[in-house]
Amino acid sequence: MSIAPSITINETSGITFLNVDNTFATAQISLYGGHILSFIPKSDGIERLWVSPHAYMNGEKPIRGGIPICWPWFSDDHGREKGALPAHGFLRSQIWQLKSSEDTENGTVITLAPAFTRADGFEYDCQVTLKIIIGKKLSVNLTTHNTGIIPFTYNTALHSYFEVQDINQVELKGLKGNYRDKTDDFAVKETPIPYRFSQETDRIHEHAAKEIGLYDKEAKRIQINSAGHDSIVVWNPWQSAASISDMDAFAYKQMICVETAVTSGQEIQPGDQHTLTQIIS
């Protein structure tokens, strides 16, 4: 298989990285976890994604930051006791395979697939592919195809970490309606307007917003478009970051997670497929 000219490949501590440099942007993807780590449009030179300086970059643990792939369950919603199965599923801790890559007039198109999709907690026949387009925008498309003879239901998310200058001056626009507050025993609350941050935040928004603007110091920094989802998850650990082994105690000030997610169950009939999409600009 030929590799697109815009891609260079390097390996560090046993992890293979794809480094993309084309007309529109630079990006970095780890084959461990099928994990996008960086996206910098050349139009402004501003990094969109945040990766923890203390992230495990040796395959010992899933990488903290970038865009982790949550599949086939979200968080610990796998039907067993917490900790019985890996949080957010098992795709983010395996080696993905590069299936194809090409340079087009719209950017670099990369297709990845995990080594396996059947494991403890999810034993159905399916194929998963991750299609990434690095152009003026970053397009991430996670497709699950039911190749078996019975339907199955799963949850999934693109658990994106976005880099910000100061969380105290960040505002999200585009969310409305109710959310479930994980920090308050999943109490149902009304989305705040303006949507700003002053404490630990872990919310599942039941309004599946298609467009969200992330404003940093009153200037629009990032546009997040979503499709194929039923919810948006917003997370910032605030001072509890100090208890997370692969985060700095003050790292919460420079990041916010806005996740395109399926948290209420997506059923796929035999022969059908579902695609979860997030587009970042």
Give per-residue pLDDT as tens, 156-170.
999 999 999 999 999
Of 190-194, 203-207, 217-221, least confident by mean pLDDT is 217-221
Q: What is the mean pLDDT of residues 193-212?
A: 97
In the block, which residue shows the tokens 């999934």?
Answer: 156
Non-local (6+) Cβ contacts of 203 within 8 A are 179, 180, 181, 182, 233, 234, 235
Would the pLDDT of 84 be above 90?
no
Mean pLDDT of the chain: 96
Would the pLDDT of 118 be above 90?
yes
Number of Cβ within a 10 Å radius of residue 159: 25
> What structural domains does the chain harbor?
7-280 (2.70.98.10)
Name the percent of the chain lying above pLDDT 90: 93
- SS3 readout for 234-267: EEECHHHHHHCCCCCCCHHHHEEEEEEEEEEEEE
* Residue type for position 8: T
Q: What is the mean pLDDT of residues 85-106?
A: 96
Would the pLDDT of 77 be above 90?
no
Q: What is the mean pLDDT of residues 128-140?
A: 98
- The pLDDT, as a whole number, for residue 218 is 78
**Is residue 152 classed as helix, strand or coil in its secondary structure?**
strand
Q: What is the mean pLDDT of residues 221-245?
A: 97
- Give the span between the Cα atoms of 57 and 175, in whole angstroms: 33
Would the pLDDT of 81 be above 90?
no
Q: Could you tell me the pLDDT band of residue 217, with boundaries at 50, 70 and 90?
A: confident
Compute the residue count for the chain: 281
Q: Could you tell me the pLDDT band of residue 29, with boundaries at 50, 70 and 90?
A: very high
Nearest to 196 by CA among 231, 222, 168: 168
Position with higher pLDDT, 82 vs 183: 183
Q: Could you tell me the pLDDT band of residue 268, with boundaries at 50, 70 and 90?
A: very high
